[in-house]
Amino acid sequence: MLKGLIGKKIGMTQIFDEQGVAQPVTIIEAGPCFVTQVRNPEKDGYAAVQLGFGEVHPKRLTGGELGHLNTNGLAPMKFLREFRSKEAVNVGDKLTVEIFVVGERVDVVGTSKGKGFAGGVKRYHFAGGKKTHGQSDRHRAPGSRGSGTPPGRVYKGARGAGHMEKPAAGHAGDQGRDGAAARTGVRARLGAARGRHDRGAVRRADDPRGRRRDRLPDAAAHRAGLHRLDGFAAGR
């Protein structure tokens, strides 16, 4: 049976272990999910199972989504996600939490909600200013963020106020090389500083200092197996 479900977080609580220590617990409403599509290597090039979760009003979906579900006689669902699996399932099968057993370890992947524009105190836990000694209206100010001249500016990527959301991908391990990128000897620059001069830029693998930079247009970067992540060029 397929070991995977779609769910949503509905709250948090705590439980006490045998030693009486409180353990934080996240409550997730997992399932029921329905198999909406089965992909196979012969037709699609890979094996996967698409699950649907959360019934909604038909007006909430597009015509293509409704047609996809109505073809298999399924109710309108808000979330459709694929799980890479070769398990034998049929379209319309219902999956519940009964596929897991008590005490079984699971991997949970989710997307944190955006928190809008936030200051440095909330976003990066800045200490803020003094509360006394004549301080006025500067209690949550970031303070000095850069050095004097040179460079006389704030470095790109420095911590500060801004849009607070989930952390950006592209900081896990070595730079990726894939497809045409490997053939042309280019390597994605992970963790590159933001800026208009770095959009779509890559450096050659034979130049460790990164002095020689080539610029790839979006289409070429896509063919080279490169993803654009908020101004970064990151390898898959």
Q: Any idea what the CATH number is for the domain that residue 76 is in?
A: 3.30.160.810
On whether residue 230 sits in a domain, the answer given is: yes
pLDDT at residue 166 in the model: 58
Q: What is the value of pTM for the model shown?
A: 0.52
Q: What is the residue range of 29's domain?
A: 7-99
Number of domains in the chain: 2
92 and 35 Cβ atoms separated by less than 8 Å: yes
Tell me which of 66, 99, 132 is where a domain ends.
99
pLDDT of 156 above 60: yes
Residue 167 to residues 170, 171, 186, Cα–Cα distance (Å): 10, 10, 25
Q: In terms of C-beta distances under 8 Å and separation of at least 24 residues, what long-range contacts does 194-197 make, across chains too?
A: 194/156, 194/157, 194/230, 194/231, 194/232, 195/156, 195/231
> Which is more confidently placed, 59 or 223?
59
Tell me which of 54, 83, 99 is where a domain ends.
99
> Which is more confidently placed, 229 or 96?
96
On whether residue 145 sits in a domain, the answer given is: no
pLDDT at residue 167 in the model: 55
pLDDT at residue 123 in the model: 92
Residue 174 to residues 149, 190, 194, 220, Cα–Cα distance (Å): 34, 8, 19, 22
On whether residue 174 sits in a domain, the answer given is: no
On whether residue 109 sits in a domain, the answer given is: no
Tell me which of 99, 128, 163 is where a domain ends.
99
